[in-house]
Chains A and B, each alone.
Chain A
Amino acid sequence: MPHANTPTRRALKMASMGANVAGSYLGYVLQSAFAGKDKRKQKLKTTHTRVARKVRDEMLSLRGPAMKLGQTLSLQSGILPEETLNELATLRMQAPGMHPSLVRVQVKTGLGKQPEEIFETFSPEPFAAASLGQVHAATIRGGKAVAVKIQYPGIRATIESDFKWFRTITKPAQASGYIPKEAIDEMEEQIVAETDYDREADNIEFFRKKLSKLPFVEVPCVFRDYSSDKVLTMSFVRGRHLEQFLASHPSQRVRNQLGTNLFDLYYFQLLKLGAFHADPHWGNYLFNDDCTIGLVDFGCAKKLSGASLQYLRGVYLYPGSRHSAEFRRLLEANYAKHGKKLPGAAYRALVDFSAEYRKVYPPEKNKQFVFDFSDKTFLTNYIRHATNLFRTKHVMTDYIFMARAEMGLYNTLHALKARVPTSDIVRKYL
C-alpha cells in the first residue's frame, strides 16, 4: 500500500501540481493561437478556474503549511486572477476532515476520555476546518454550546518536513538573498507555534482581556477543563463569514461602520497592545449586522518588541517629507538596532511603501478625511510596493507577519468597499 504524505510524496505532489499548472497554461497558449479575441478571453478564464481547482485540491489534501500558503494566496487580490481567488477562497473554510473515528482517538488522546464521556453532546462532523485542525460543535455541562478545535495528528512533523523541503528547494533563492533564511525561520517558528493549543489558549485569554476595551469585538473564552495541547474548547462566537455577510447585501452605512471597526481593531492591537492577531484570512473573522466583529483562531498572534513598536510609532504618520534626511535617519536607526545597514535600494523601496501608507491616513490634521477602500488601484499599488520592498532582500523579519496582517485587512476593507476615517483612528492610538 502506498505511503501517503511522506516527505518525498508531499514533495512529488507539489512538483506534480506545478507540472499540472504549467501543462494547463501551455494547453491554453496552444489553443489560443487559433482562437478569436473573445474566445481567447473565455478560454483564459476557464484555464484559470481549472488550474485553481487543481491547486486548491492538492493544497487541501496536503493540509499544513501548503494549505496555509493557499489561504495567504487567496488574499492576494490585485495579483491573482479573480477565478483563482474564488477557488482558493474555499481553502479558508473547508478542508478534508478527519473521519469521526480519528476525531474520537484525538479527543481521547488530548482529554483522556471519549467525546461522549466529556461532553453532553458532540457533533461527529466538523462545522469548520482549518489548516492544522477542525472544529466541532458540542455542549458542556449546563448545556452551554461550545466549539471544539481538534488537531490533525502529526501536523507538527508535517510542518517541519515541509519546511525542510522548502529550505532545500529555495537554497538558490536564499543564497541570492531573495528569500532570507531569517524569513523562513520566522515563518516556520510561527506556524509550528500554532500547533500548541495551550499557547493558543493563553493568546485567547490575553486578547479577550485586552480587547474588552473595544465594545464591537467579540473574542471567545476558553474552557481549560475541556482543553489540552491538541484539543481546544471555546465558547461560540456569533457572526457570518465575509462572503455570506456580503451576500445579504449590507447597506453602505453598515459596511463603513464595519470597516471602521476593523481598522480600529487592527491599529488598537498594533499601536496599543504591541500584539496582533496575525492570521487575517476570512475564515477567522465573523461579521454581524450590528457592526460587531467576532474574532476566532488565535494560533498565529505576533508580539512586537518594544523597539519595533517605538519605531512603528515614529514612522506611522511621520509629519515631514518621506524624502527628508530626518526620515532617512529614522529608518537607518532602526536597521542599526538590528546590526544592519540600510542599503539604498531598501531605502527607496521603504520611502515608496511609506508613501502608500500616507495615502491611507495622511498625517495632516484633517478630521474630515475618509479613505475609500473600494478603490482597487490602492490595493494593487500597495501590493506592488510591498513586493518591491521584499525584492530588495532587506525586510526586517519582525514585519513579515505584520505585512501579512495588513494585506489581509486591506483586502477585507476592499471587499467591504468601506469608507473609513483612517487618520482619526491612527492618530487616536499614537
Chain B
Amino acid sequence: MATKSKPKSKAPRKPGKRAQSKQAIRDRIVKAALTLFQTKGFDTTTTKAIARKAGIAEGTVFNYFRTKEDIALFFFEEEVDHAIAAVRDDPRLRKAPLEEKLFTLVHSQLEFLAPYERFIGAALLHALNPASHLGAFSHRAQQLRHRYLAFVAELIEDSSPKRKTDNLSWLVPEAFWIYYLGVLLFWLYDTSKDKQHTLAFLDRSLNVGVSFLKAGRR
C-alpha cells in the first residue's frame, strides 16, 4: 500500500536512482488508472486494464497498490497535499484573510480534480459504501480527512487574533467538511462555462461563513 509522509521541516534528501525509478512506475500506474477511470468508468476498470495501459505486468501493479481503490485514494492524498501546499507555500497568502485562504484551498482541490470530473462523481458514490476503501469507515480515508481538517483548523486558528477557542471550536472543521462535500457536489453538477457558478458560490458562501464565524467569536 502506498503511504504518504507529512512534509518535514528539514529539506528532503534527493531520492536515489532506484527510488526515482519506483516513483516513475507509480506515476505511470496512477496516470493510466485515472485515464481509464475517467474514460471507461471507475467500476468497469480492472487492474489488468490499468497494467496494460501503463505498459507493465499486472503483478507489478500489485507491488505498488493492492486495489484500484488504493490508486484512487493515492490520487486524493496527492490532491490534498497539492491544495495544502498551494496555501502554505504561497507568500501572497501569508497575510490574506481566512476566506481567501480557504478559497485557495478548495479551489486548488477542484482544479486538481477537474481533468477527472467523471471519475470524481463515481468515487463519491463509491465512498457511500461502508466497505469501500474510499468510504468514511476506511482507516486510510479517515487519516486523510483528519490531515485535511487539521490544516483547516490551523488556518482558522491563525485567523483569530486572540486565538480564542471554546467548547464548540472542534465543530467548525467538521462543518467545513460537510461544506466541502457540498461544494464538490455543486461543482460536479455545475454546467456553467468555466464552472463560473461554482466560483461565485465558493466566494460568496466563504465570505458569509467566515463573517458568521467572526461574529460568533465576538
Binding site for B on A (CB under 8 A): 1-5, 98-102, 105-106, 109, 124, 152-158
Contact = CB atoms under 8 A, between A and B. Distances in A.
Interface in B186-218: 192, 194, 196-197, 199-201, 203-209, 212
A109 B198 CA distance: 13
A153 B92 contact: no
A153 B103 contact: no
A106 B203 CA distance: 12
19 contacts: A1-B182, A2-B205, A2-B208, A2-B212, A3-B201, A3-B205, A4-B201, A4-B208, A4-B209, A99-B99, A101-B103, A102-B100, A105-B107, A109-B196, A152-B200, A154-B196, A154-B197, A157-B192, A157-B197
B175 A105 contact: no
Contacts of A156: 196
Contacts of B178: 1
A100 B103 contact: no
Contacts of B197: 153-154, 157
A5 B194 CA distance: 20
A152 B41 CA distance: 35
Given A153-B199, A157-B197, A102 B103 contact: yes
A99 B104 CA distance: 10
Contact residues of B: prevailing secondary structure: helix
B179 interface: yes
Contacts of B115: none
B107 A154 contact: no
A114 to B, nearest CB: 11
Given A4-B208, A152-B200, 16 more contacts: A1-B208, A2-B205, A2-B212, A4-B201, A4-B209, A99-B103, A100-B92, A100-B96, A101-B100, A102-B203, A109-B194, A153-B199, A154-B199, A156-B196, A157-B192, A157-B200
Contacts of A105: 107, 199
B205 A4 contact: yes
B205 A99 contact: no
B176 interface: yes
A158 B200 contact: yes
Interface of B: 92-93, 96-97, 99-100, 103-104, 107, 175-176, 178-179, 182, 192, 194, 196-197, 199-201, 203-209, 212
Nearest to B101: A101
A99 B92 contact: no
A283 B201 CA distance: 28
A124 B205 CA distance: 22
Given A1-B176, A2-B212, A4-B207, A101 B93 contact: yes
A154 B201 contact: yes
A2 B205 CA distance: 6
Contacts of A100: 92, 96, 100
Given A154-B197, A157-B192, A101 B204 contact: no
Give the residue among A2, A105, A154 with the most B Cβ atoms within 10 A: A154
A101 B176 contact: no
B75 to A, nearest CB: 22
Give the residue among B176, B182, B197, B199 with the most A Cβ atoms within 10 A: B199
B199 A1 contact: no
Contact of B204 (A4, A106, A109): A4
Contacts of B92: 100-101, 124
B200 A101 contact: no
A109 B107 CA distance: 13
A102 B179 contact: no
A124 B96 CA distance: 12
Contacts of A2: 205, 208-209, 212
Contacts of A3: 201, 205
A49 B182 CA distance: 40
Contacts of B201: 3-4, 154
B186 to A, nearest CB: 9
A153 B192 CA distance: 10
A153 B107 contact: no
Given A1-B176, A2-B209, A101 B104 contact: yes
B200 A99 contact: no
A105 B199 CA distance: 9
Nearest to A98: B203
B203 to A, nearest CB: 6
A102 B178 CA distance: 22
Contact of B175 (A1, A157, A158): A1
B194 A99 contact: no
Contacts of A99: 96-97, 99-100, 103, 203
Contacts of A5: 200, 204, 208
B46 to A, nearest CB: 37
A109 B192 CA distance: 13
Nearest to B92: A100
A153 B97 contact: no
Contact of B205 (A1, A153, A155, A158): A1
Contacts of A106: 199
A229 to B, nearest CB: 9
B15 to A, nearest CB: 29
Nearest to A6: B201
Nearest to B103: A101
A101 B96 contact: yes
A98 B107 CA distance: 14
Contacts of A109: 194, 196
Nearest to A151: B196
